[in-house]
Amino acid sequence: MKEFALLFAALDQTNKTNAKVALLKNYFATAPECDKLWVLALFAHKRPKRQIKMALLREWVVALAEIPSWLLEETYQMVGDLAETIALILTPSEGASTQTLHDWIEAIKAIGKAEETEQKAFILHAWASLNAQERFVFNKLLTGGFRIGVSQKLIVRALAEVTNIEPNIIAHRIMGNWSP
């Protein structure tokens, strides 16, 4: 997750196409195989469905941060993104998690079937074990919002350059229904 959080932040900080392609190429050249597939899926708009209700996330962050709910809502209105708002409101954590992006996504997918108390325990543990940047990305996974200015064309270009496979072949391979 650390590598993906760094990639996410770096992509968010640039609007230069070649810089984004270089960042993606570097990630695809070095990341674990299972994480590469999830990055491809996330940026190709093939995200897993939302597993936790947003109202519950709001409730849990208000309780954990010990703030009134109106303050969360006012902050959310200013920030405009619930994932970022939650990451900003929670107290900083050093974060010691070694779980990969794949591990976190699989855990998020599995927790959707659990009871609310189990879901809450999972979310609170995750928030406590992730640093601020990772927590922000984790919240993005929970809320489903991955608008970061990376088009499918950029992903195809980066993958083609890393794998030495024609971009048309890569684009064809990631079309249609598939799952990481």
Tell me how far apart the alpha carbons of residues 100 and 141 are, in angstroms, rounded to a whole number.
Answer: 13
pLDDT tens-digit profile, the chain (180 residues): 899 999 999 999 999 999 999 999 999 999 998 899 999 888 877 777 788 899 999 999 999 999 999 999 999 999 988 999 999 999 888 777 889 999 999 999 999 889 999 999 999 999 999 988 999 999 999 987 777 778 888 999 999 999 999 999 998 988 877 777
Tell me how far apart the alpha carbons of residues 145 and 174 are, in angstroms, rounded to a whole number.
Answer: 20
Tell me how far apart the alpha carbons of residues 133 and 78 are, in angstroms, rounded to a whole number.
Answer: 19
The Cα-based distances of 111 to 23, 107, 115, 171 in angstroms read 31, 6, 8, 32
Q: Which amino acid is at 30?
A: T
Residue spans per domain, the chain: 2-47+150-173, 54-143
Q: Say if CB 81 and CB 8 are below 8 A apart.
A: no
The pLDDT of residue 9 is 92
Tell me how far apart the alpha carbons of residues 44 and 38 are, in angstroms, rounded to a whole number.
Answer: 10
Q: Is the pTM of this model over 0.95?
A: no
Of 85, 93, 82, the closest CA to residue 132 belongs to 93
Q: Which amino acid is at 78?
A: M
